[in-house]
Amino acid sequence: MSGSGRKSERLLNLLIMLLVQRHYIAKDRIREFLYPGTSTEAFEKMFERDKEELRSLGVPIEVGSLDAYFDDEPGYRVRLDQFALPDVSLTPDEAAVVGLATRVWQHARLAEATSEAVRKLTAAGLEVDASALDIAEPRLSADEPSFDVFWEATQDRAAVEFDYRRSGSTRTSTRHLQPWGVVRYSGRWYVVGFDTDRGEERVFRLSRVQGEARRTGQPGGYEIPAGTDVRAMTVRLAPPPSTGEAVLLVRRDAGVALRRDAVSVETDVDGPDRRTPWDRVRISRGGTGVADEVLGYGDAVYVEAPAELRTVVVDRLRRVAEAAR
């Protein structure tokens, strides 16, 4: 397995370990299970970096005391009521086959990796609440086919080359980047890093990458500056989020992330079918960029307003259906 593959597996295992625990888990226990054989210094560096990478992907890692009556070493967990996985990018062909309504936990490779991680935790004698995985509701997107390239290059510290089209432009330019991190922000995926052509830090939206990104550097070819906060950089450098409001009809027990960010939720409303109860969810962003989120929930979410958002969603569903045929 490559270095990026081992890193991705470790991040997945850390996420699951913190998610399925009913209580805070001690750092020593995390080290014993996920970082065996590492020195104290190496473990501290790897653990801090892994925590920050999960947080940059929207995972709310909480720190708290293991014992309310003693000021002991802090423990870690992921609170179920605050967690929903970000979108996971699939290629257009994969999205057509899997279907927009498919949840990523049911995708064969990820389901197998998740089951294996839970099995190892149980075998290690840890108390596991596997039902906690039910709230993880990642959504599919076919707009970022180069996600894996940027993600793995970030883990390996390898430079990449890609063709990029800026907003409002019809021209494409070739860019060269030392990626520092991949971040979800305002419903979009961004890669943050050092632009070697311009000699400064830059943020690029993955949906504007044309074709496939290409690794051009060797692993370990650069270092990420100490103290780099890729999420803060994204907020500072990326375009401001679109304003407005979207009104969505959401099936009961679906749309965890949408409900978390909702301005209001009206329960038990009339929906497009009667297979399940429906709620009316209002979110404070109404631009067409919300289409990615809505599409990821398949038939569990219906756009009531604005009309232009509904048009975008319907058009993309038709194109996916045609591609599947």
Whether residues 225 and 105 share a domain: the answer is: no
Is the pLDDT assigned to residue 183 strictly greater than 90? no
Secondary structure of 81-134 in the HEC alphabet? HHCCCCCEECCHHHHHHHCCCCCHHHCHHHHHHHHHHHHHHHHCCCCCCHHHHH
Query: What was the pLDDT predicted at 176?
Result: 97
The pLDDT > 70 percentage for the chain reads: 69
Is the pLDDT assigned to residue 159 strictly greater than 60? yes
Q: What is the pTM of this model?
A: 0.47
Domains: count for the chain: 3
Whether residues 104 and 171 share a domain: the answer is: no
Q: How many CB atoms lie within 10 A of CB 219?
A: 14
CA–CA separation, 321 and 309 (whole Å): 18
Query: What was the pLDDT predicted at 200?
Result: 93
The whole-number average pLDDT for the span 153-168 is 88
**Domain termination residue (choose one: 100, 120, 138):** 138
**Domain termination residue (choose one: 237, 256, 289):** 237
Q: Where are the beta strands (DSSP E) in 206-300?
A: 209-215, 246-251, 262-269, 278-283
Whether residues 113 and 77 share a domain: the answer is: yes
Whether residues 258 and 314 share a domain: the answer is: yes
Angle at 252 between CA 247 and CA 257, to 5 degrees: 60
CA–CA separation, 232 and 323 (whole Å): 38
Is the pLDDT assigned to residue 91 strictly greater than 60? no
Give the pLDDT confidence of 45-58 residue by residue, as tens digits: 999 888 888 877 66
Whether residues 103 and 155 share a domain: the answer is: no
Whether residues 212 and 259 share a domain: the answer is: no
Out of 64-78, 185-199, 210-224, give the one with best mean pLDDT. 210-224
CA–CA separation, 7 and 324 (whole Å): 33
CATH number of the domain at 196, please. Answer: 2.30.30
The whole-number average pLDDT for the span 305-312 is 87
Is the pLDDT assigned to residue 63 strictly greater than 50? yes
Whether residues 11 and 103 share a domain: the answer is: yes
CA–CA separation, 40 and 130 (whole Å): 30
Whether residues 153 and 205 share a domain: the answer is: yes
**Domain of 57, in residue numbers:** 3-138
Whether residues 156 and 133 share a domain: the answer is: no
Is the pLDDT assigned to residue 224 strictly greater than 70? yes
Query: What was the pLDDT predicted at 99?
Result: 37
The whole-number average pLDDT for the span 137-143 is 45
The pLDDT > 90 percentage for the chain reads: 23
Out of 64-73, 144-153, 221-230, give the one with best mean pLDDT. 221-230
**Domain termination residue (choose one: 206, 237, 268):** 237
Query: What was the pLDDT predicted at 71?
Result: 55
Whether residues 229 and 275 share a domain: the answer is: no
Whether residues 90 and 19 share a domain: the answer is: yes
CA–CA separation, 89 and 86 (whole Å): 10
Is the pLDDT assigned to residue 187 strictly greater than 80? no
Confidence of residue 67 (pLDDT cuts 50, 70, 90): low
Whether residues 221 and 299 share a domain: the answer is: no
The whole-number average pLDDT for the span 47-74 is 74
Is the pLDDT assigned to residue 140 strictly greater than 50? no
> How many CA atoms lie less than 13 Å away from 162 in the CB half-sphere?
28
Strand, helix or coil at 43?
A: helix
Give the pLDDT confidence of 242-270 residue by residue, as tens digits: 567 889 999 988 887 788 778 899 999 99
